[in-house]
Amino acid sequence: MCAKKAPLMLSVSGMRGWVGDSLTPIEVIRYAAAFGSWLKESLGNKDAAPHVVIGRDSRPSGEMFESAASAGLASVGCKVTKLGIASTPGVAIMGKHLKADGGVVVTASHNPIIWNGFKALRSDGVAPPVDQANVIIEKFKKNEADYVGVEKLQPICEDKTTAQVHVDKVLQHIDVEAVKAAKLHAVVDSVHGAGGEEAKILFDALGVQITHLYAEPTGQFPHVPEPTQENLVELAKVVKKEDADIGFAQDPDADRLAVVDNNGKYIGEEYTLALCAKHVLREGDSSAANLSTSRMLDDIAKAAGASVIRSAVGEANVASAMKANNAIVGGEGNGGIIWSKVIHVRDSLVGIALLCEMLAQRKTTLDKIVEEIPSYAIVKDKVDLESGMGEKIMPTMLDVFGDQKIDIQDGVRVDWENKWVHVRTSNTEPIMRIIAEASSDNEAVDLINQVREALKLPTI
C-alpha cells in the first residue's frame, strides 16, 4: 500500500486533501455526517431535520464529492438542496435566501486540481469559528454521527437559481446607474472555475463591457489557480491590449479577487481590500483584517477616521471580529473582501461591484486611485512543513524577537514602527507561511531571512 502523499487537512477552514489519496468519498461522507449531527445538536433537537444547501466549484472531482456529501448529510436526517456549480459566497447567500440551517461547499479554493475539500457554513453563511469547527472535527475523527432510520430520511432537492440570487443581493447596495453611465470595459479571468456565470450576470446588469477569459466552469484550470502575479501574466497582457479600464481575476470558488490596473499592471490581492475599504469607509466606521494583511488598510482607515481590528487568519475569524465590532468592511490580504451589507463571507462579486462603482463615481483611472494609497513591499514566503516545525515557531520567535511588539493570536506576528513579519502554519496546506511587509522588497526579504535563520532554514 502506498504512503499518503499529502495529509488530510482539518482546520477552521474545513477539510482538504488530495483526491483519491488523503481525500476519498468515504472521508467526505463521514465529515458530512459529523457536520449534520453537529447541526442537529446546535438546533437543540436530536429529532430535527436541518436543511442544508450544498454547492461545488467546477473541479472534475466535485460532482463525486457533492454526491458523497449529500449522502452523508441525508444519512443523519438532513434535508439537502443541491445548488450545483456555485461560488462559495453564492452558496452562503443562497443558504440565507432559503432560510437553511447550514451550507456546504465542495471546494479546495485556490489549491491545484489534485485537491478538493469540504467547507461547512452555518445558517448565517459564515464558517463555524474555531471552537465549533473543533467539535465537528472531533466528531469526524471519532466517527460520531447520529444516523437515522428510513422513516426519518429527508428529500434531496435541486435549486439552480444561485447565480441570480447572488447578483441581485450585491446589486441592492450598488449605484447601478452610475456604473452604466461610465461605460467601463473590464477583462475577467474566471479560471474555468465556479464564478464565471455569476460574474457575467453581474457585469451585464452593470452595463460593463467584458472580455471574459476562461468563463466556462470546466474545472480544467488554464494556469495555477491562485490569483497571484506569476499566474496572471495573460490577464495583464489582455488588459493592456484591449485598453480596458480594469482587470479582475477570480479563484476557483470565486471568494478571492485580484486586480490589474488600466495599464496592465498587476496590482495584487492586497489592494482588493485596501481599495474597497477606501471606497466605503467613513468616519467612525470599523474594519477588520487578519494579521497577515497589509497595513495599507490601517493608513486608509486612519485617513477616513475609522478603525481596524486584527484577527487570526481564516475567514471565520475575520467574520467573527467584524460581527463583534460591527465592522462595515473586512477581509484578508489574499484578495478576500467581506462587505457586511451583503454577507459576512469573502466575495469576489462584491469586490468587482465596489471597484466598478468606485471608478464610475470618481471619474478617474485606477492607477491614479492606487497612487493615493501609501505603498509598501510585501513578500510572501512558504516552507514545506516538516515534523515538529510548527511547535518551534512560538518559542523561537519569542526568544529572537521578544523585545518587539508581539501578537500570538495566530502563530507569531512581530511589529516594528514601519515593518512587520508574521509566521504561522497554514490552515489549508501542509506548509508554514512567512509574510513580511516593509518599505522595500529588500527590507521585507531581510525580515523573512531573519525568521528563516532563527528557525535554522536556508535563506532566500
- Catalytic residues, which ones? 109
- Helix 88-97 vs helix 348-362: angle between axes, to the nearest 10 degrees? 100
Question: Which three cell numbers mark 202?
Answer: 453581474
Distance CA 369, CA 273 (A): 14
Asked if residues 274 and 373 have their Cβ atoms less than 8 Å apart, the reply is: yes
Asked if residues 59 and 108 have their Cβ atoms less than 8 Å apart, the reply is: yes
**Residues 6 or more apart in contact with residue 388 via CB below 8 angstroms:** none
Within 10 Å of residue 47's Cβ, how many Cβ atoms?
Answer: 10
Supply the DSSP symbol for 408: -
Asked if residues 291 and 405 have their Cβ atoms less than 8 Å apart, the reply is: no
Sign of the torsion angle spanned by Cα atoms 438, 274, 103, 67: negative
Distance CA 56, CA 268 (A): 26
Hunting for cell 509574510 — which residue is that? Answer: 435
Within 10 Å of residue 421's Cβ, how many Cβ atoms?
Answer: 26
Please report the beta strands in 342-443, taking only residues with DSSP state E, as ranges in sequence order.
Answer: 377-384, 405-407, 412-415, 420-425, 431-438
Give the CA angle between residues 258, 369, 379 to the nearest 5°.
45
**Residues 6 or more apart in contact with residue 129 via CB below 8 angstroms:** 12, 316, 317, 320
